[in-house]
Chain A
């Protein structure tokens, strides 16, 4: 199973492909895509460069990143694990 993710053009925030081609900033709302759906979604995301910057697919199990980049994808989804961004978690990953 795969998820499609990218950064949003105007503010750079992490976004995921959700059901119906919507975007969401929340990992658990990301559409879980089989191989065929994933390629379709990727093509559609690439055709919307005004929203999706560098769209790519992430391996996931039960909607949780599972591949080699799982740490990176987890940090992308939940924000920095340490530091001065933490007191303001609302704006880190919730959009």
Chain B
């Protein structure tokens, strides 16, 4: 993984000092709250219902054990002993004091981490496939490009005061595990031309109040021209994006209102006059960064493992975890293991300091010192030998981290909702917990198979409800919490927005309604169909009927 050189290290330290100066000016009155707010947001600092919240960047989801241990240390020292992994592969702390934040940022800088641009109207933390560098369907590891984008977008002189936030995701092949079509810009590596990487570019995707699936704007942008092309897109957006209405300020609205053809013409016009020779990355720099992401020193193995096979036969619990949480690896004899942060009745994405220490130990010992954050609010050990999987599983089990539900019905994405968030209309966590308890039967979950259920506490859609196979959106109905359900959304290469199936439901009705929808799927599915396949075949109506079954009189 990437390591800071003296330039990177100096920048994050200087950023801490800059923030210290800003905090001092806020305290002295030299900055008003209105002036301070965008500055603190660009350092990841929110003011939520109960306290400040710090969102720490995990660039493209990659961490090592030293960083994970530092995150645990921060949770213990400055917070209440836990952190929350988000759908942007970042980690949030819910209780830090403003006066502690410079010290926390200094702690982060000491392990090559920061909270820069995890919020604010600027280019946000770049996300990617959690299995990057491990998946067997990848054309090229996307992470070197993520790191290049991280550096290029950091404290950008032209693009730090955009109309609204700007999110970029990158994938290394055709299978989209990073939801790139719901990002402001999505980049898909489609091939190579000599030494140069080719990118397909999507623009104008986004969730929130007015969700849009991104549109293809270019089919083969060369890696050497990537920064120039992104500059042209951002420049068109910065000059033309709406600033009069916060709900219409994202690039998706600009692309929608101009039409993709006119927007493409605008981008091309900007591209022609760019000083693109300056934005052309030196090949040596691309290679320097690529070298950091070279595959680790895998052993040559024959792809089978006696220890693993015996454990699968001997222990049905291990076998189940293996079935659901272990993913194929490009290197024979290795696998990637999903660490579910969706324990029965737990808060999706939460992890305690002691659990973080366990994960750090396992990463160090069994996964070439690497651990990843997934946008589904789980963690992944990317490179584990099959021989070691039983030991890894036993350690996870002891730490309460071996829930065998990855991608199943209780692997729910949920935002913090009204329990923490000042934007929320309704709580998300209790609804996710109720569903987790109701569907706790693992045999049932396995029978249903993979299904993505996503919950957001407001229309900002941090819980990705629009692209959940089943989506739940918290709404405020005259001071009461209600929940609107959508069916048929999908975040992948067949990206789609879910359809609202009917009126919103009270909190306690949500979990039973979702179970009825899953039961309906079990009744009507054809051989080999996943939940989403059935929805695509039959439409959302049968599921809507199931959701409202027996509710007419009650609501």
Contact = CB atoms under 8 A, between A and B. Distances in A.
A69 to B, nearest CB: 7
B81 interface: yes
A35 B198 CA distance: 64
Interface in A26-57: 49-50, 53-54
B352 A84 contact: yes
Given A72-B418, A81-B427, A84-B347, A10 B98 contact: yes
A56 to B, nearest CB: 12
A19 B52 CA distance: 26
Contacts of A49: 29, 32-33
A79 interface: yes
Interface in A64-80: 67-72, 75-76, 79-80
Interface string B407-445: 000000000001110001011011001000000000000
A84 B353 CA distance: 11
Nearest to B424: A72
A50 B80 contact: no
Given A68-B476, A68-B478, A85-B95, A80 B29 contact: no
A14 B48 CA distance: 10
A82 B419 contact: yes
A71 B507 CA distance: 13
A84 B433 contact: no
Contact of B33 (A54, A88, A93): A54
A11 B52 contact: yes
B49 interface: yes
A29 to B, nearest CB: 17
A20 B32 CA distance: 25
B47 A50 contact: no
Given A10-B98, A82-B419, A85-B95, A71 B479 contact: yes
A70 B26 CA distance: 31
Contacts of A76: 49-50
B47 A80 contact: no
A80 B419 contact: yes
Nearest to B419: A80
A12 B429 contact: no
A82 B49 contact: no
Nearest to A78: B50
B521 interface: no
B367 interface: no
A84 B348 CA distance: 11
B479 A69 contact: yes
B283 interface: no
A82 B347 contact: yes
Contacts of A61: none
B267 to A, nearest CB: 38
Given A54-B33, A80-B419, A83-B429, 13 more contacts: A10-B97, A11-B97, A12-B48, A13-B51, A49-B32, A67-B479, A72-B49, A75-B419, A81-B427, A82-B433, A84-B81, A84-B82, A92-B50
7 contacts: A12-B48, A13-B51, A54-B33, A71-B426, A71-B481, A76-B49, A91-B80
Q: Which 7 interchain pairs have the tightest Cβ spacing?
A: A12-B52, A11-B97, A80-B419, A12-B51, A84-B82, A83-B347, A68-B479
